[in-house]
Chain A
């Protein structure tokens, strides 16, 4: 049985008496330990899919099953790495992770165990050196590392990442992608990542879910990326499988499902 199942998920928003359907009939099954990317043009509702899985939005139709149980409220079993890191600026790096760890593992781990677990997760993303700094004192890439550490520290059944590297420069982004791959190799997390970067999707994913344009967006196609791990970005540049997968995603996004504005231009 699939670890995470979305069946016939749809959502409509009503504003000023007008109802608009954003998502329609999204069906997706994700196996344990799988890394799945969702890619699509901006405004197609890919973040909406993630927010429904996270429980931050309620689906109008259909439902989400995680480990055989329906989910309809947010919880630490579906930890989210937010696009803009969402660290609390008045807490230090360590306290930000501690807020989550102390809440999620209260009663399950003793205080020294929790302290050790916080440091373990900060070390995982190489952020121990800045543990006592506040978010305003560290760079954007570091903030996102802390966001990832906070999410990983909740030991989620599925890790949700909402354009985690969208606000970062290209070099920092590549660095973090490598970190994510390495951590993924070690922990075997189930991951859903929203992205609009084709290279990022191909490099990181086992499968790429391509969304059609809204309104009433849905899954257009799912591409399996049969690249062996560990993947090294330099080796992949001329790898036939990589090039082919990349071309397939580009073709979907820019030829068959180009944005109207792009088509006109």
Chain B
């Protein structure tokens, strides 16, 4: 099957890209791993179950900007009904092969789901909207049951209306901790503390960026009111530095941080809880960007991101990137980027029913909007860095890579004994990132630890060596083999010794 444009991901960026590309007259396929649109940000209860029950009341609970999603979703479904968008749910791309006139995507159903998608699709343009996921820092005890990514806690609340515990500590950095904490409180969970590693005074220094996104102001006030209402203590320059328990979380140690991110001696204290939600910003999901061979760089928040131009084109012809993968900036920016990428592709294809002059005006407006939102995102990143000396919270026994059970101590040995100077060498000698998740969880931490060993800032090479995955999703050898004709025997009888 061949399309004008294939969009990967049906979160805020992908949804906006799909509906705008289709409304511009392009033939569109939308590929997404989820069973329903919205991505992580607009995760919501099962639509089929709600339809069967005859009510969508409560669907938007805990959401911001739900109206924007409802509008995009309605347009998507209308376009799908008309046949203007092919929307393949429960489908992952495991291989991307850019070509001279079209790019090929190889598809596989997500685990335990049926997919109606074919095994391969080609399109003249690809818009990658893979989104991002919570960035984690390994700390002592983070592998205990009851410790979750802040985004995971929120996904359970939004998608399943399930609170993951009864007494929670929310820790990390950034504004995302606020909706997680207030969401838990609204669901009846006692939030013992929010531990924000940075200080809101960081905002003052970055006021220029902040005031450029005025709609964030009221949102902040809303959270402040919610924190007051639920009596949630908001502790700044404070981090969860260790988690305690035998079979599950029983308590955490929270401590005040010095300016460099190390623990201020004597400030540690124990807080009982059964749920810990941790979030240190976000990691962009870059498998397909890297597999396509597109250029990447380190962003202000130390995340590896795709390098794109003002039309969101990557360094690979025919491959655009929109949303968190171009720099973490939140859902509003992702929607702008999705629309921008789609309209630029439409303009390039010369296929707008509205005419290219109108299109040019819309593109220019979106570009200005994107710049404004990007300035805000940069200000947020500058105000909420990962503490420089977070490594000092670790003990030799702290597990860094959970798949391969690699401890911080063994990374230190790989450095001091074996001469590993970079993340790739750490991986070669000690195996972090070699297991099931292929570095999706420990990649940032390992790159950051390598940079700390080398006494340098986190480098793009270190992040890349932990993020590069030839197969973007696991695929069975049988599926791989199906790309070539089957052979009856392992040996060619004519090729003896």
Q: Do A and B bind each other?
A: no
